[in-house]
Amino acid sequence: MSKGHKSGARALGSGRGVSYSTSPLLASKTPPWRSRFLVALVGLAFAGLLGRAIYVQVLHTEFFQKQGEARYAHTLELPASRGRINDRTGQVLAASVAVPSIWAIPKEVDADADKRRELARALGLSNKELEAKLNPEARFVWLKRLADDETAAKVKAIGLKGIFQDREYRRKYPEGEAAAHVVGFTNVEDRGQEGIELAFQKELQGRDGSRSVVRDRLGRVVEDIGDIVPAANGHDIDLAVDSKVQFFAYQRIRDAVAENKAKAGSVVVLDVQSGEVLALANFPSYDPGNRQNLSGEQLRNRALTDVFEPGSTMKPFIAGLSMETGRSTADTLVDTGNGRYAFQGAVISDTRAHGVIPVREVIKFSSNIGAAKLAMQMPAREMHEMFTAIGLGQRPQISFPGAISGKLRPYKTWRPIEQATMSYGYGLSASLFQLARAYTVFARDGEIIPVSMLRQPHDHPVPGIRVFKPEVARQVRQMLQEAAGPGGTAPLAQVPGYSVGGKSGTAHKQEGRSYTNKYRSWFVGVAPISKPRIVVAVMVDEPTAGVYYGGKVAGPVFSQVTAQTLRLLGVPPDLDVKSQIVANQKAAPVEESF
């Protein structure tokens, strides 16, 4: 090998012999535009980052903070406990209890088909319903609200990721069907829908609180952030209703509807000293805690919402007005003839001929003719003013939804025959609740009193508005005692040990402009007559077991409810039971008129 070739080989075999400064590649000059371009790119990148930083941290910082917080910070609702509804003795009629509610973050639910089917069975859902709820696009979904503890335990045992449980409040109604139309119910959002729950929604609801927390990706609370706003629980509502009287009234009207094969029935019990509603019961009813397949027939609070022509229950008011204006006394004779009276092209009839009878017997025998003749002695205006004074044609002033006014036309539109028929309860309409309140006029010596669903704080009698003189009201009360006694129209309304008085009523039901062969039967009475404490009103709708007169259908319910209520109130008996039984055996009942 030559000397030149050896030196070349040494240069190639050792990197140390390379001279980079003399490399042709490195020795070539870089074009100026290329370096400027690279510097420009770097500058633009920094400018973009700077612009983005200003956009995020200065211009839209609030938006991006919220977006960030939404991914880790959560506001938990601290639900307020809804107030309780209590009866007059403190017995709970409605209360809230904490129950589990199950929810999910759909995108975090990681389960195979078998696990999902198991979850659907535990929740009582179909597979299709569960899949619809677990839509991955949803951030939050309720799977089952207000569940029972058994369902919650089954879901927890499955142990699926992304499924969570919280506690919410659910209403419980210990008295069930008996008090359903009084307390009403709430919806899934715990808002009142019927009854007292609706009437006092604002007072019962309270105000929810809140708690801000940080949650990890598994939904667990890591820490609290910010201040906790405590929940303000709702106020309790203390009703005038006595749960024992309410339950007994419900049982008796339920049994009466069954015995008479009737469509429905209602009972109202008023304390005439305080104006408190001790019971308001209807049948059919419903369980407010389980409202599946609930019908409108069950929901109707018939004592307040159903109006009807009050029939013979109006006759005592006509007699009272006649005596109040000096046109008659209790002993003034009225000629009722042979039981048929032609008037203004129509015929007014009684169930039998009574002949010439005093005013007191017009009420005792329930004479339509006698009532009409008394009414036609007075101007229509006087009758209208009296009807208005006792609350007819006006919505009851009571803290309760659904109460309606009934019908009372202006007196200037009355024809003479209409004035006559109104005297025995046809041509106007009222609810059972309105009738019960109207009869406080006789129980309170001529005063009509305000009524209340709420417990009243005082024990002395509530002031009323005078309609009749005290002596007139007491005389009518004696007439009512005769009407409910031996020889009257409702001897079955008698109560062992107590003097009672009242008036039965029976009316054809009107459908459209014509009357049918369907009836409503009712009885409204006062007890004890010597010193009245309660008014009880009973209505049975469409009895079809062969008996439909109010004294025979509604009278026994009045007797049972009155006896139980007076005993619960501690009212002492005012009659000797033995003599009362003997008197009842001596006299046969008289059929009543419509």
Residue 364 has, within 13 A of its CA and on its CB side, a CA count of 18
396-409 pLDDT, tens digit each: 989 888 899 999 99
DSSP 492-525: GG-BTTB--EEEEEEEEEEETTEEEEEEEEEEEE
Q: What is the per-residue pLDDT for 225?
A: 64
Q: What is the per-residue pLDDT for 59?
A: 77
Q: Tell me which of 266, 274, 285, 312 is the catalytic residue.
A: 312
Q: What is the per-residue pLDDT for 176?
A: 93
Q: Could you tell me which of 366, 524, 499 has the C-alpha nearest to residue 437?
A: 524
For residue 330, give both structure tokens: 């209790």
Beta-carbon count within 10 A of 134 CB: 21
Q: How far apart are CA 203 and CA 170, in angstroms?
A: 17
Q: What is the per-residue pLDDT for 13?
A: 46
H helix or E strand, kind and range, residue 561: helix 555-568
Tokens 């309270």, residue located: 206
Q: What is the per-residue pLDDT for 8?
A: 47
Q: Could you tell me which of 395, 476, 435 has the C-alpha nearest to residue 558?
A: 435
Q: Could you tell me which of 435, 481, 475, 443 has the C-alpha nearest to residue 462?
A: 443
CA 235 to chain centre: 17
Query: Does the annotation mark 312 as catalytic?
Result: yes
Strands (DSSP E) contained in 245-291 are 264-271, 277-283
CA 490 to chain centre: 34
For residue 318, give both structure tokens: 């006509």
Dihedral over Cα of 115, 120, 123, 129: its sign: positive
For residue 518, give both structure tokens: 């369907």
Q: How far apart are CA 383 and CA 269, in angstroms?
A: 27
H helix or E strand, kind and range, residue 448: strand 447-448
Q: How far apart are CA 356 and CA 336, in angstroms?
A: 6
* Contact (Cβ atoms closer than 8 angstroms) between residue 421 and residue 433: no
Planar angle of CA 44, 45, 47, nearest 5 degrees = 60
Q: What is the per-residue pLDDT for 104?
A: 86
Q: Which residues contact 366 (CB under 8 A, 6 or more apart)?
A: 312, 315, 350, 483, 489, 503, 504, 592, 593
Helix or strand or coil: residue 328? coil
Q: Specify the length of the chain in residues.
A: 594
Domains and their CATH numbers in the chain: 75-96+169-238 (3.90.1310.10), 243-586 (3.40.710.10)
Tokens 């829908």, residue located: 193
Residues of the chain with pLDDT under 70: 1-30, 56, 60, 64-78, 211-227, 577-594
Type of residue found at 210: S
Q: What is the per-residue pLDDT for 121?
A: 87
* Contact (Cβ atoms closer than 8 angstroms) between residue 565 and residue 462: no
Strands (DSSP E) contained in 189-252 are 209-215, 221-224, 237-238
Q: Could you tell me which of 264, 257, 269 has the C-alpha nearest to residue 298?
A: 264
220-252 pLDDT, tens digit each: 555 656 667 777 889 999 999 999 999 999 999
Q: How far apart are CA 96 and CA 234, in angstroms?
A: 10
For residue 201, give both structure tokens: 């929604």
Q: What is the per-residue pLDDT for 68?
A: 61
Q: Which residues contact 519 (CB under 8 A, 6 or more apart)?
A: 506, 507, 508, 509, 542, 543, 548
Cis peptide before 106 (omega within 30 of 0): no
Strands (DSSP E) contained in 32-89 are 73-78, 85-86
Rounded to 10 degrees, what is the CA torsion of 115, 117, 120, 121?
-110
Burial of 37 (0-12, 13-18, 19+ CB in 10 A): exposed
Q: Could you tell me which of 397, 582, 403 has the C-alpha nearest to residue 496?
A: 582
H helix or E strand, kind and range, residue 356: strand 356-358
Q: What is the per-residue pLDDT for 219?
A: 56
Q: What is the per-residue pLDDT for 571?
A: 95
Q: How far apart are CA 152 and CA 162, in angstroms?
A: 15
